[in-house]
Amino acid sequence: MPVAAPSANRFGKVSPTRASHVLAELGDRIPFILDGDVPEVGIESTIVSLLDDQPAILRPGAITAAQIEAVLGVAVKSHGEVSKTPNANPRVSGALEKHYSPDAKVWVLQASELAALQLQNKTLCVGWTDEFLAQADALREKCGEVLVEALSDKPGEVAKALYATLRQADELACRQVLFEKPGQTPDWEAVNDRLKRASA
């Protein structure tokens, strides 16, 4: 039997990547949940427009502009290029300025910005570089109610863990999430996009 379904989360909230996430958010509204196990990608798909002469990425995902170019044999506008186009406001899923947001406030910071913080609320620090994690550990010693989550330094692995980590912050009753600022290279584009919207 074919199955078609909308996103299994309330509008604007963090996308689910586990059956337990769907149960927590929609358990009182739906009769059953199909458990597809942990997804390999973790974030939503790449959305590409083929309406103009040059293909354009409207929402970045695991498939990058370079990968699409390799298949199509033509240049593809990156999501960054599309965003800079005057009057560009594509109506696609996940394009709102604030989206994928947990209840906890999300901040995207460099390691050097952690050192100056004075925290008074339960906080989850999420990073992957030695520098960021060392600063997060120092913050935990200084401020107490700081939890530290170390992720892989690979963009695909961060994407895979992103939503589960943001949901974990709410499950742990954290008031804020201090997420390490990713690199600005094309392979980090989808993670940067989701963090920008989660922190808006």
| CB 140 within 8 Å of CB 114 | no
Q: For residues 192 and 157, state if they share a domain.
A: yes
Q: What is the per-residue pLDDT across 84-95, written as a single tens digit (0 to 9) for each?
A: 776 666 677 767
Q: What is the per-residue pLDDT across 63-83, written as a single tens digit (0 to 9) for each?
A: 999 999 999 999 999 888 888
Which residues, including other chains, have CB under 8 Å from residue 41's CB and lie 6 or more apart? 61, 62, 156, 159, 160
Residue 4 lies in a domain: no
CATH of the domain at 174: 3.40.50
Q: Which domain holds residue 111?
A: 105-198
CB crowding 92-123: b at 16 or more within 10 Å, else e: eebbeeebbbbebbbbbbebeebeebebeebb
Residue 66 lies in a domain: yes
The reported pLDDT for the residue numbered 22 is: 81
Q: For residues 65 and 143, state if they share a domain.
A: no
Residue 173 lies in a domain: yes
**Element of type H or E holding 30:** none
The reported pLDDT for the residue numbered 89 is: 62
Whole-number Cα distances in Å, 83 to 60, 78, 198:
11, 9, 17
Residue 8 lies in a domain: no
Q: For residues 126 and 68, state if they share a domain.
A: no
Whole-number Cα distances in Å, 15 to 39, 98, 199:
12, 13, 15
Q: For residues 120 and 186, state if they share a domain.
A: yes
Tally of domains within the chain = 2
| DSSP letter assigned to residue 183 | P
Q: How far apart are CA 47 and CA 57, in angstroms?
A: 6
Residue 16 lies in a domain: no
Residue 42 lies in a domain: no
Residue 12 lies in a domain: no
| Lowest-confidence segment of 26-30, 42-46, 125-129, 192-196 by average pLDDT | 26-30
Q: For residues 131 and 190, state if they share a domain.
A: yes
Residue 129 lies in a domain: yes
**How buried is residue 77: exposed, middle or buried, by Cβ count under 10 Å (0-12/13-18/19+)?**
buried
Can you give the pTM of this predicted structure? 0.86
| CB 186 within 8 Å of CB 97 | no
| CB 145 within 8 Å of CB 161 | no
| Average pLDDT for the chain | 88
pLDDT above 70 covers a percentage of the chain that reads 93
**Confidence band (pLDDT; 50, 70, 90) for 3?**
low
Q: For residues 76 and 109, state if they share a domain.
A: no
| CB 58 within 8 Å of CB 79 | yes
Q: For residues 112 and 80, state if they share a domain.
A: no
- What phi and psi values does residue 174 have, to the nearest 5 degrees? -75, 145
End-to-end CA distance of the chain: 40
Q: For residues 119 and 62, state if they share a domain.
A: no
